[in-house]
């Protein structure tokens, strides 16, 4: 899933792996961003931040406010100054996708890899891989939340075992259905905390408001067994009762036997309930 790939673009930053260190980090080279790129960032920011108040969870809103990044592509060092004192996380710039083992090692040491290039104008609505807007706007606000901060470190530390057991796909589904596409119950409604949702205008509304969407209670084993879509909106979203449930639901689970039991089983299709499961109704959505 995170295989290095090479791209070219006008920015000269996209997929520039030659300059990367052994851990795939690069300098952000903030001075390389053009006025047009900053303007594109402001456009993306304005569009998404208009949805944040209604659709994003409180931690996201508070984290975003602390980043003060409405005016242009932010400097990672400025975010690091705020993050370090809050949860001890630090952003590192990367050229694009990085290998799984490197990604896990960064997370295990509270370093969050942020892609340094910005999508082109024709990619405003759809992008096949993360860029700086997805990574920064979508992920970094949640790094201020202690539960998310602790979970991501644990996730990084869990990576080596999953890889050794041939169960990487199962572990990756946990990240996908929470950090990327997670919902959380808050103040009687549902809110977004997943970066893949909150960095997409249309999926933000769809995930919360669409009555056809299957929303299931957070269940780590169920999640590890459930396939996901990379080419369309998700067919299933999992809902936390609170952000601390993310760690509470995982600590104490012995992943080894779970991997052994399910790693060779076909994935459960997204968008389908199992017998006995009760979907969360749409009237439980955003207040
Ligand atoms: Fe992401």
Query: Does residue 51 carry a pLDDT above 60?
Result: yes
With cut-offs at 50, 70 and 90, classify the pLDDT of residue 11: low
The encoded tokens of residue 105 equal: 């090692």
Question: Ion ligand 1 — residues with CB under 5 Å?
Answer: 195
Which single residue is written with the structure tokens 């796909």?
169
User: Is residue 184 helix, strand or coil?
Assistant: strand
The encoded tokens of residue 275 equal: 């017998």
How far is ligand 1, taken at its centre, from the CA of residue 38, in Å? 21
How far is ligand 1, taken at its centre, from the CA of residue 197, in Å? 9
DSSP character at residue 135: I
How far is ligand 1, taken at its centre, from the CA of residue 196, in Å? 6
- The DSSP code sequence of 198-239 is HT-HHHHHHHHH-TTSEEEE--HHHHHTB---SSSS-SEEEE
214-217 vs 189-192, strand pairing mode: unpaired
Enumerate residues 6+ apart whose C-beta is below 8 A from 123.
131
Complete domains list, the chain, with CATH: 30-284 (1.10.800.10)
Mean pLDDT (the chain) is 92
Decide: 24 and 113 in contact? Cβ < 8 Å.
yes
Which of 169-173, 185-189, 250-254 reaches the highest mean pLDDT? 169-173
How far is ligand 1, taken at its centre, from the CA of residue 276, in Å? 32
183-186 vs 189-192, strand pairing mode: antiparallel
pLDDT score recorded for residue 8: 35
Share of the chain above pLDDT 70, in %: 94
How far is ligand 1, taken at its centre, from the CA of residue 277, in Å? 28
pTM summary value: 0.92
With cut-offs at 50, 70 and 90, classify the pLDDT of residue 128: confident
How far is ligand 1, taken at its centre, from the CA of residue 275, in Å? 31
């Amino acid at each position: 899933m995170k295989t290095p790939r090479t791209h070219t673009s006008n920015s000269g930053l996209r997929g520039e792996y030659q300059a990367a260190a052994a851990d795939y980090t690069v300098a952000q080279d903030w001075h390389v961003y053009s006025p047009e790129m900053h303007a594109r960032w402001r456009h993306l920011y304005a569009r998404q931040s208009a949805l944040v108040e209604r659709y994003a969870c409180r931690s996201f809103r508070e984290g975003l406010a602390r980043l003060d990044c409405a005016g242009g592509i932010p400097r990672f060092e400025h975010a690091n100054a705020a993050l370090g004192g809050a949860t001890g996380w630090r952003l590192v710039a990367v050229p694009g996708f990085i290998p799984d083992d490197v990604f896990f090692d960064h997370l295990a040491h509270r370093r969050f890899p942020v892609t340094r290039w910005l999508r082109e104008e024709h990619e405003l609505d759809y992008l096949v891989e993360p860029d700086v807007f997805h990574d920064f706007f979508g992920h970094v606000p949640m790094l201020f939340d202690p539960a998310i901060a602790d979970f991501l470190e644990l996730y990084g530390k869990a990576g080596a075992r999953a890889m050794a057991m041939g169960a990487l796909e199962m572990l990756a589904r946990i990240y996908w259905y929470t950090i990327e596409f997670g919902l959380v119950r808050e103040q009687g409604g549902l809110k977004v905390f997943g970066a893949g949702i909150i960095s997409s205008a249309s999926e933000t509304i769809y995930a919360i408001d669409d009555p056809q969407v299957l929303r299931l209670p957070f269940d780590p084993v169920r999640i590890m067994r459930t396939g996901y879509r990379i080419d369309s909106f998700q067919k299933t979203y999992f809902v936390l009762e609170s952000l601390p449930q993310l760690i509470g639901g995982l600590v104490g689970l012995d992943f080894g036997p779970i991997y052994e039991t399910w790693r060779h089983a076909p994935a459960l299709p997204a968008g389908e309930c199992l017998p006995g499961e009760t979907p969360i109704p749409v009237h439980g959505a955003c207040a």
